[in-house]
Amino acid sequence: MMTAGAERLCFHPLTYLEQGDEVVVGRTDVDSYGAFPADGAALLRKLEAGMEPAVAALWYSTRYGVPVDIDDFVETLRALEFLAPSGAATGPAVRVRGRRLGRMMFSWPAWCCYAMLVAGALAVCLIDPRMVPRPGNLFFSRYAMAVQLVVFVSQPVFMLLHECGHVLAGRRLGLRTRLRISRRLYFVTFETVLDGLVVVPRRRRVLPVLAGMLVDVLGMSALTLVAWLSRAADGTVPLPGRICLALAFTAIPRIAAQFYLFLRTDLYHLAVVVLGGSDPHGTAREMLANRVNRWRGRHDLLTDESRWHPRDRALARWYTPMYVGGYVVMTVLLTTVVVPVAWRFTESAVRTVQGDAASAARLADAALVLVLVAVQLAAVVFGAWRAWRRRRAPTIRSKRKP
């Protein structure tokens, strides 16, 4: 007996994207998406067009020659939050703030300005080799405290600007992109939620994915030009210009870090866009967990492999060695380099603060080191706590239903 009833269902505005033999359907206003086979998407379209569930089930069995559990199908739509309350107004999707700004930032006049900015920075580096980003630019002052403070304070700002590039590129497409604090192993960073890209054609996903790296390049170019323009009459670079050169160099490690694909960086997402699939990282992690649990004999902890996307399963075969190797390398670096160096700086700073013969400048320098270490440690702990809360929070996963 059908419990879906004979009433027509009310739907929120839905977006459809055909991808091979399946169709991704979703609500961009709440970032809820599901992957349906073509016949399931056709059934959904009939329901959305106003066909009653019982009639739609009859249409499906006539069209495809097999019956459908319409009650289960409707429950899936309800779990995905596709259904609106009966009689509720279901007008156009919620307007996305910042969409006009996003369109301006990535319009053709803006691209012309960006090209001139980068070309100008390259020309300046050819004219004056001192403008080329290099490690020595970091030491713009003989006071280590000043260098540490400028670099430490500037990096969160540049990371935020990087993510703002992703946000605006996504909102340009009408997506509900947003920022959150995240953690990559023992790195605390900002992260842009771009779930809505799953209903965007593949070629249009490239800009939102690479917009952050574009911001890094533009920032490095702008700082280089400012440093060149700040030169004195005798050609020397004053302190503000040297600070600009130091900050321009810090973009190099940020861009290089995007090649750590196992940390789900921008280039990881670009590879997913180019190669297909949706979450090879999560599939590889669950695949490894299944192998370990089989070896332990804990078959009750195995993940149902049938829910893995076929493309993710294929990509996970080459991604898994990179995933394992990357985490091994980063863990080794943590135990052999990061922790010993941090401990050495902390121990030296504590001895300086506890001593009686230290000057005021050395005391201030030691106090700054202790503050920076404490802030970074607190950030890591906070990021781990937020990740733990997200894992425990109930979530609705996309379903692949007929």
* Tens digits of residue pLDDT in 134-177: 988 988 887 767 787 888 889 889 999 999 999 999 999 988 88
pLDDT for the residue numbered 328: 87
Does residue 314 have a pLDDT over 50? Answer: yes
Lowest-confidence pick of 9-13, 128-132, 330-334: 330-334
Instruction: Average the pLDDT over each of 79-88, 256-265, 289-298, 322-331 and give the range with the smallest value.
Output: 79-88
- For residue 216, pLDDT over 90 is answered with yes
Positive or negative, the CA dihedral 112, 113, 114, 118 is: positive
What is the residue-averaged pLDDT of the chain?
Answer: 83
Query: Which tokens in the block code for residue 291?
Result: 């192998």
Residue at 165: amino acid letter: G
Tens of pLDDT, residues 352-375: 777 766 677 667 767 776 777 777
Dmax (CA) of the chain: 91
**Does residue 382 register a pLDDT over 60?**
yes
Determine whether 296 is exposed, middle or buried from the number of CB atoms within 10 Å of its CB (0-12, 13-18, 19+).
Answer: exposed
Return the structure tokens found at 353.
């603060």
What per-residue confidence (pLDDT) applies to 92?
A: 55
For 28-142, where are the E strands, in sequence order? 32-37, 83-84
**pLDDT number for residue 103:** 95
pLDDT at 380: 65
pLDDT bucket at 206, cuts 50 / 70 / 90: very high
Most confident range (mean pLDDT) of 1-5, 87-91, 144-148, 234-238 is 234-238
Phi and psi, residue 303, nearest 5°: -85, 140
302 contacts: CB under 8 Å, gap ≥ 6? 290, 293, 294
Contacts of the segment 226-230: beta carbons below 8 A, 24+ positions apart? 227/131, 228/124, 228/127, 228/128, 228/131
Q: Are β-strands 10-11 and 15-19 bridged in parallel, bridged antiparallel, or unpaired?
A: unpaired
What mean pLDDT is predicted for residues 295-311? Answer: 84
213-217, 274-278, 289-293, 385-389: least confident range = 385-389
User: Which letter, b or e, does each residue of 350-364 get, where b requires 16 or more Cβ atoms within 10 Å of its Cβ?
Assistant: eebeeeeeeeeeeee
Do the beta carbons of residue 312 and residue 283 sit within 8 Å?
A: yes
- Enter the pTM of the model: 0.77
- Segment 89-110 mean pLDDT: 81
Residue 388 has pLDDT above 60, yes or no: yes
Q: What is the mean pLDDT of residues 211-231?
A: 96
Q: Residue ranges of the domains in the chain?
A: 10-84, 99-392
Do residues 207 and 106 make contact, with C-beta atoms less than 8 angstroms apart? yes
DSSP secondary structure letter of residue 334: I
**Helix, strand, or coil (residue 271):** helix
CA distance 266 to 273: 11
Centre a 10 Å sphere on the Cβ of residue 75 and count the other Cβ atoms it contains: 15
Q: How far apart, in whole angstroms, are the C-alpha atoms of residue 171 and residue 107?
A: 13
Instruction: Specify the pLDDT at position 165.
Output: 95
| Per-residue pLDDT at 387 | 62
Per-residue DSSP letter, 179: E
Percent of the chain with pLDDT over 90: 35
3-state class percentages of the chain: helix first, strand second, coil last, to nearest 5? 65, 10, 25
Choose between 123 and 377: higher pLDDT: 123
> Confidence band (pLDDT; 50, 70, 90) for 386?
low
φ, ψ dihedrals at 360, nearest 5°: -65, -40
What's the gap between Cα 110 and its chain centre?
A: 24
pLDDT bin (cut points 50, 70, 90) of residue 398 is very low
Q: Are 346 and 373 in contact (CB under 8 A)?
A: yes
The pLDDT, as a whole number, for residue 239 is 93
pLDDT for the residue numbered 7 = 75
CB atoms within 10 A of CB 257: 15
Mean pLDDT of the 186-194 span = 77
